[in-house]
Chains A and B, each alone.
Chain A
Amino acid sequence: VQVVESGGGLVQPGGSLRLSCTVSGFTFSNFEMNWVRQAPGKGLKTGLEWLSRISTTGNNIYYADSVRGRFTVSRDNAKNSLYLVMNNLRVDDTAMYYCARDHSSGSFDDWGQGTLVTVSS
């Protein structure tokens, strides 16, 4: 199993960015997928924050309150790819963004290495 995120970078507040997650080694269309982020640095705010989950067909998508209305998740099963479009980015969206496969138990059993998003002027 391989999960690889890409698309991170430096963006100004209010800007947009599109992250991609490409997988191999398993049948992508059989698994729900998630986005999780982790703020950099030290202290209590560096924990893991679940952002979104998308069903196998893409017909059902769930978002955390913190990103609903600004972030949009989609998938292309033919390309074994998951996407996260982030609009109206804020400084506190700065984080490492991970793509994670959903296990039947609801746990996340395979993760990518992450892609870093920095929102700064």
Chain B
Amino acid sequence: DIQMTQSPSSLSASVGDRVTISCRASQSVGSYLNWYQQKPGKAPKLLIYGALRLQPGVPSRFSGRGSGTDFTLTISTLEPEDFATYYCQQSETTPRTFGQGTKVEIE
């Protein structure tokens, strides 16, 4: 199975900050890398698929980069509603493994 490792596990930031979350795969997943946002008590929400493609309706302050084994999710200007947990997921192979999550908290 492909292991997905996110860093950091948590971070504190302020509204207006630029935030970058990293995700590393244990082997190449090409561009089959997806990002989700989850708020407490809610289901995950797809933000980015194919490493860099913004899901319709997702604000443009979210962006994704990378290919192969190293990927990043960047929030250019953190808004109050962005405080949540973010997960990466590879869809190159089955099982479709997730990272352990990165919790973005208010500083």
Residues of B within 8 Å of A64, CB to CB, are 95
The residue among A62, A65, A103 with the most chain B CB atoms within 10 A of its own CB is A103
In the bound complex, CA of A109 to CA of B98 (Å): 15
A interface: dominant SS: mixed
| B60: interface (CB < 8 Å) | no
Least CB separation from A44: chain B residue: B100
Closest Cβ of chain B: how far from A55's Cβ, in Å?
12
Binding site for A on B (CB under 8 A): 9, 32, 34, 36, 38, 42-46, 49-50, 53, 55, 87, 89, 91-92, 94-101
* Count of A-B contacts judged by CB separation below 8 Å: 65
Contact between A111 and B43, CB atoms less than 8 A apart = yes
B interface: dominant SS: loop
The residue among B91, B92, B99 with the most chain A CB atoms within 10 A of its own CB is B91
Contact between A106 and B44, CB atoms less than 8 A apart = no
Total interface residues on A, CB under 8 Å, equals 22
In the bound complex, CA of A44 to CA of B87 (Å): 12
Contact between B32 and A105, CB atoms less than 8 A apart = yes
The residue among A62, A98, A107 with the most chain B CB atoms within 10 A of its own CB is A107
Binding stretch for chain B, among A23-31, A45-53, A76-84, A85-93: A45-53
Closest Cβ of chain B: how far from A87's Cβ, in Å?
20
